[in-house]
């Protein structure tokens, strides 16, 4: 058993204090983001202000093109941390913008492998807002079975009730990129080895490793050097 696993299973007082503080906080109420009911959550946001609404709108359109190219997400969250691949509802890998019902295969490099090195999520909805002052593009994912696997078998370390909402928006002179995790709980509906992996991976995500990764993602998504 690794020292990290021992630490998670036998936490010291500092870890317990951190978790107590974390659990005391409440998830932000964001329009379009599923409600937080149980389990863990995270709110990860990056914001950039511009001198004019026209400048912000131009950058938003560039950000939107990058945001909807899921196969290139590893550029923004770090290719050494995770890799993303888009699949259609028939299980064919595709190079296009995502659609409702599509699958995304995720390879988390540091995650221990049991049955498969991959985790799967599915696009549940893609609401979009487009008005004179506000543009918003949203993708809501939930843990899923693999497109060629058993629909009863969720291939993810979080349960089927968890959601991840990815959002970019432009309001007047401001652009925001965000990831909101809701109702995050380990997937225990699987084999013993997978349960242990899911618990450890889920705990690592809950205590901040996933937030670190998604903060890198949102920061880079609205960073000019990634939109040349």
How confident is the model over 17-71, as pLDDT tens digits? 444 444 557 889 999 999 999 988 999 999 999 999 999 999 999 999 999 999 9
> Is 19 inside any structural domain?
no
CATH number for the domain harbouring residue 80:
3.30.530
> Is 22 inside any structural domain?
no
Residue 201 is predicted with a pLDDT of 56
> Is 20 inside any structural domain?
no
Q: Which two tokens stand for residue 153?
A: 């078998």
pLDDT tens digits, 84-135 = 999 999 999 999 999 999 999 998 765 555 566 789 999 999 999 999 899 9
Q: Which of 2, 25, 59 is nearest to 206 (CA)?
A: 25
Q: Does the structure show a pLDDT above 50 at 12?
A: no
Domain with 91, as residue range(s), is 35-226
Q: Which of 204, 199, 159, 168 is nearest to 38 (CA)?
A: 159
Q: Does the structure show a pLDDT above 60 at 137?
A: yes
Distance CA 141, CA 181 (A): 10
Check: pTM over 0.75? Answer yes or no: yes
> Is 122 inside any structural domain?
yes
> Is 128 inside any structural domain?
yes
- Count structural domains, the chain: 1
Distance CA 211, CA 116 (A): 24
> Is 8 inside any structural domain?
no
> Is 191 inside any structural domain?
yes
Q: How far is the CA of 178 from the CAs of 58, 121, 212, in angstroms? A: 19, 18, 13
Residue 212 is predicted with a pLDDT of 76
> Which of helix, strand or coil describes residue 171?
strand
Confidence of residue 80 (pLDDT cuts 50, 70, 90): low
pLDDT tens digits, 139-165 = 999 999 999 988 888 988 888 999 999
Chain position carrying tokens 């945001």:
67
> Is 162 inside any structural domain?
yes
Residue 9 is predicted with a pLDDT of 43
Confidence of residue 228 (pLDDT cuts 50, 70, 90): low
Residue 5 is predicted with a pLDDT of 39
Query: Do residues 181 and 162 lie in contact, with contact meaning Cβ atoms separated by under 8 Å?
Result: yes
Q: Does the structure show a pLDDT above 90 at 175?
A: yes
């Amino acid at each position: 058993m690794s020292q990290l696993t021992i630490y998670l299973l036998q936490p010291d007082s500092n870890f317990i204090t951190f978790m107590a503080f974390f659990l005391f906080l409440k998830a932000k109420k964001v329009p379009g983001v599923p409600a937080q009911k149980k389990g863990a959550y995270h709110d990860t946001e990056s914001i950039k202000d511009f001198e004019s609404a026209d400048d912000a709108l131009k950058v938003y359109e560039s950000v939107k093109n990058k945001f909807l190219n899921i196969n290139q997400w590893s550029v923004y969250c770090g290719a050494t941390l995770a890799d993303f691949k888009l699949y259609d509802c028939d299980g064919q890998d595709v190079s296009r913008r995502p659609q409702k019902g599509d699958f995304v295969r995720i390879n988390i490099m540091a995650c221990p492998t049991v049955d498969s090195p991959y985790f799967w999520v599915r696009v549940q909805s893609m609401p979009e807002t487009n008005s004179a002052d506000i543009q918003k593009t949203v993708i809501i994912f939930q843990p899923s079975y693999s497109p060629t696997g058993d629909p009863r078998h969720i291939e993810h370390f979080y349960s089927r009730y968890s959601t991840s909402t990815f959002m970019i928006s432009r309001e007047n002179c401001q652009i925001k990129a965000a990831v909101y995790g809701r109702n995050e709980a380990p997937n225990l509906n699987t084999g013993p080895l997978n349960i242990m992996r899911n618990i450890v991976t889920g705990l690592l995500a809950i205590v901040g490793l996933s937030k670190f990764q998604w903060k890198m993602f949102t920061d880079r998504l609205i960073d000019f050097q990634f939109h040349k």
